[in-house]
Structure 1
Amino acid sequence: MKKIILLLFICIANLSLAQTVAVQTFATGLSNAVALVHPPADSRLFVVQKTGAIRIVNANGTVNATPFLTVTGLSSGSEQGLLGLAFHPNYATNGLFFINYTNTAGDTIIARYSVSANPDIANTTATILMTVDQPFSNHNGGSLAFGRDGFLYIGLGDGGSGGDPQGYSQNMTVDANFPSRVLLGKMLRIDVNTTFGSLNYGIPATNPYATTAGLREIWAIGLRNPWKYSFNRLNGDLWIADVGQSTREEINKTTFPLPNTGINYGWRCYEGTSVFNTSGCPTFANTVAPFTDYVYGSNGRCSITGGYFYTGTLYPNFANKYIFADYCTGEIGLVDSSGTITWSVNLPGVITTFGEDPNGELYITNGSTISKVVDTSLSTIALDENVLTIFPNPATNELFIKNNNNIALQSIAITDLSGKLVLNQDIQNIGSNAISIANLAKGMYLVTVQIPNGLTATSKIIKQ
């Protein structure tokens, strides 16, 4: 059990800390969860279950008994079903959201819905925006996300099987028999606030092929199976995790403002930084090289699950890092600014997706349980002398203060991260003391211990 050690020195905050990635259970009772999404400025997490239900998890970790929406008429293959959800940037006023699923024919459907008068229940009437014919059951992508430009980005896999046998990722020729298949292996970009011709959406004028019939929606090409992509909520950068074939697992980063020139992420010509099949392909230099990649099969790693560039404030050690996972090993990876990957944790089971709350704090799920991603090092500092120990951390209902050297203590104060005092208790001259925190909500708190002569020691604890 990790303990927080408080050194009674005024210079405490200047000491550097090591990071320890861990997870804490946040919500249970879900099934087949494949996406965790929140509406703008909304603390609720909406959980996409592959079998068709969208469930609401509240800020305190409780799960609403009634689904937000239940979608029927889904295909049930291992990579099919209800796969993606995105809330309109103006959801608070227009109530619109969008889903990505595969129907009983196995085709990808992008549909628009709206919330009802009850904020926890959606209207069941759908408007179909797009249907994309799928030749195989795998590599459907599935994610949806709005960029900083206000457009909806739709990531489609290469159509499935293995090795992109029909060359869809690089193909830019419309097949009259299957015209929508030209969209496979692409990142699409549409304007959901306008319409174009008979379409239920508009085409951004800045799309690279906006004036070419059949290709108008395409923003980028060369994807294999983008299993999760995300936008940095603070600067608009796009991060894409593209699942590899048999050699490399790939992470792409495209900085904001995003180019409008028709970029190529390389598949099936290149698999990450490795050559795959370069027949009729551009040179590697004329594709977008991965920000980083890792070896398929190394230590059991075999399928990337994309996450987020950390923009939260609770864990400074996560700052300036993209956080993702490998589906097969249950490991969480952190990528620094140089593209170096550090692996941490090694969870039992799989990690199907990440989620982000409005503050930029991260969550993961294995399909049935949602957990917070945390740095357990917090303010842990090496012991010297004249120390206190506060434990456990994370804590549930009680904190214990062990006064190792019988220092004269005066009080303990606990504040939330907004600075509000939530507990203040005298602890004068005792060797150990139990502090009840049963009434505190789950989250991070600052604990300050007061000793004589105006000295204090402050650290962090997590209430779970």
Structure 2
Amino acid sequence: MKTLYILLTIIIFQTSVAQDPRLFENDWYLYEVMSTDLGTHYDVSSINPPIAPYLRISENLNFNGEGACNTFSGVYEYSPGYLGSIIFTYSTEDCNIQQHNSFENEYFGFISGGYTYTITENNQGKIFSLSSPLMGHAVFKSYPLSTSNFQKNKFQLYPNPVKNELFLTSLNNAGNLKLKIFNLESRLLSIQSLNFEKQTSIDVSHLSSGIYFLNIEDETGNTAIKMFIKA
């Protein structure tokens, strides 16, 4: 009996150590979410009236958060680099704003599933990226959404879907930028540095057909992520 107790203690200890402590260190503020099935994309900074969706994960893998007007909670299963929701409940109030209701349908549908994750850092804090080939992609950060000049640039991609050449445009000159292309598995495929002046072109002819993400980062660590489809 004593041996069994010791073994159980070791297993519990190893399980707790195996968890990623970065998941629990702060609240995660949603910046954008994209649905693979629907092909829809929500940049939280462009939703009006403004909202502040977030995700909070505790050390026992319980989680909770908020969308536009409703809240949710649940329990995750965990393995290194992966989170899967095994329990998910949410409130069902009508937000009375169509864009808010549509956003919540997509956000709650995504967050209730399973996904791989990565956590990276810039000079403002941490970036928590979730990806699922079936469900889509979501980006959270450890600091609240702001309406900085970088966010106000309102980057746009066209054509989308694209065959060979993708154009990135902005309302303003954004200065020195770093452009990174990731696939649905969060694998970095290419990186390009340039001095951006309202428009540039990106050669994507070498990419296979599928869904990709363009990470746009300035010199101070501000980021924007855009989804595009390679035809």
Same fold, TM exceeding 0.5?
Answer: no
Q: What's the TM-score, normalizing by structure 1?
A: 0.20
Greater fraction of residues in helix: 2
Greater fraction of residues in strand: 2
Q: What's the TM-score, normalizing by structure 2?
A: 0.37
